[in-house]
């Protein structure tokens, strides 16, 4: 049975005051979502359907539609439910409450998200720009923003930094989910499949750089792709923050009152923060002139 997607209806479901209030004949939104999460954890999104959820709970799919309009809304509810497992303690304190400052706090946030995706690989399969967030998802984002608050970034840069780290986590999770999906479908592990590609490896002598890397053991003990990539992303953010700090240090101070001023983009450097200070400087010069 098809239903037109209604984002406003999804908002109502996500932000309902009581998730299990007044269940109809033992069925509730919370019970439906929990059963759907269990199915997706085992079989991925491709194995999820309203019919299977109904069977798991002992109800028909039509009974489920009385609570949740369709699979799209169900997935949004599933995402928000599992987001409730992510720790966001100290969301108001952010980096200030974390030893190691913003970098340690943001790294911990990213690793929490990575661990969540490993527990629920299907999360990487349902990413998109138009999934309605619920209270748990927004609390997760709120905490991430708090980790980079008060460190010299502009508001738009704060959003961009959190988005950059979040997309890195999503990208790594998507690759891990793809590997798991193929292994589940074929019954052959990633290591076994690549280990059987002797016909390919016989061609590698045609590529000198790749051959050197191969023979030097570059593939014997590969870097942890998540840890390596996350460090490099955080290094880039740290460079941006240092750039902002250096720019603030270069800013001039008013010669009269000492107020910090933004550096002039072009033309002569500013000496005074305001017209009033400029006039005071002029009067001082007049008084000091014989």
DSSP state of 273: S
Q: Are 78 and 111 found together in one domain? A: no
Q: Are 69 and 144 found together in one domain? A: no
Q: For residue 2, tell me if it sits in a domain.
A: no
From 24, 47, 82, the end of a domain falls on 82
Q: Are 108 and 216 found together in one domain? A: yes
Contact between 140 and 88 under an 8 Å Cβ cutoff? The reply is yes
Q: For residue 87, tell me if it sits in a domain.
A: no
Q: For residue 261, tell me if it sits in a domain.
A: yes
Q: For residue 88, tell me if it sits in a domain.
A: no
Q: Are 241 and 99 found together in one domain? A: yes
Question: How far is the C-alpha of 276 from the C-alpha of 77, rounded, in Å?
Answer: 59
CATH at 32: 1.10.10.60
Model confidence over 11-66: pLDDT tens digits? Answer: 888 887 545 544 555 788 999 999 999 999 998 888 899 999 999 999 998 999 98
* Helices (H), ranges, 90-204: 101-119, 135-147, 155-186, 190-195, 198-201
Q: Are 116 and 234 found together in one domain? A: yes
What would the mean pLDDT of 62-75 be, rounded to a whole number? 90
Domain containing residue 259: 252-288
Domain count, the chain: 3
Q: For residue 48, tell me if it sits in a domain.
A: yes
Q: Are 205 and 152 found together in one domain? A: yes
Q: Are 40 and 174 found together in one domain? A: no
Model confidence over 160-187: pLDDT tens digits? Answer: 999 999 999 999 999 998 998 898 889 9
Q: Are 268 and 213 found together in one domain? A: no
Of 145, 77, 81, the C-alpha closest to 119 is 81
Partners of residue 24 on adjacent β-strands: 27
Q: For residue 155, tell me if it sits in a domain.
A: yes
Q: Which tokens is 83 given?
A: 């987001």
From 27, 52, 82, the end of a domain falls on 82
pTM listed for this prediction = 0.75
């Amino acid at each position: 049975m098809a239903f037109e997607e209604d984002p406003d209806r999804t908002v109502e479901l996500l932000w309902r005051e009581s998730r299990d209030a007044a269940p109809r004949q033992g069925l509730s939104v919370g019970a439906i979502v929990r059963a759907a999460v269990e199915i997706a954890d085992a079989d991925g999104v491709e194995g999820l359907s309203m019919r299977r959820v109904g069977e798991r709970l002992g109800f028909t799919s039509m009974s489920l539609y009385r609570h949740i309009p369709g699979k799209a809304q169900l997935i949004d509810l599933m995402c928000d439910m599992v987001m409730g497992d992510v720790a966001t303690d100290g969301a108001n304190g952010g980096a200030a409450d974390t030893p190691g400052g913003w970098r340690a706090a943001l790294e911990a946030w990213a690793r929490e998200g990575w661990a969540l995706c490993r527990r629920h690989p299907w999360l990487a399969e349902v990413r998109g720009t138009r999934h309605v967030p619920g209270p748990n998802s927004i609390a997760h984002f709120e905490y991430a923003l708090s980790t980079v608050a008060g460190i010299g970034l502009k508001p738009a840069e704060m959003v961009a930094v959190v988005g950059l780290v979040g997309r890195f986590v999503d990208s790594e999770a998507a690759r891990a989910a793809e590997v798991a999906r193929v292994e589940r479908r074929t019954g052959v592990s990633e290591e076994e499949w690549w280990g059987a590609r002797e016909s390919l490896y016989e061609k590698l002598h045609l590529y000198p750089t790749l051959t050197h890397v191969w023979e030097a053991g570059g593939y014997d003990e590969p870097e942890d792709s998540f840890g390596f990539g996350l460090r490099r992303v955080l290094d880039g953010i740290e460079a941006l923050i240092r750039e902002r700090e250096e720019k603030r240090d270069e800013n001039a101070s008013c010669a009269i009152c000492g107020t910090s001023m933004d550096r002039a983009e072009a033309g002569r450097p500013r000496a005074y923060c305001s017209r009033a200070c400029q006039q005071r400087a002029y009067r001082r010069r007049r008084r000091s002139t014989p």
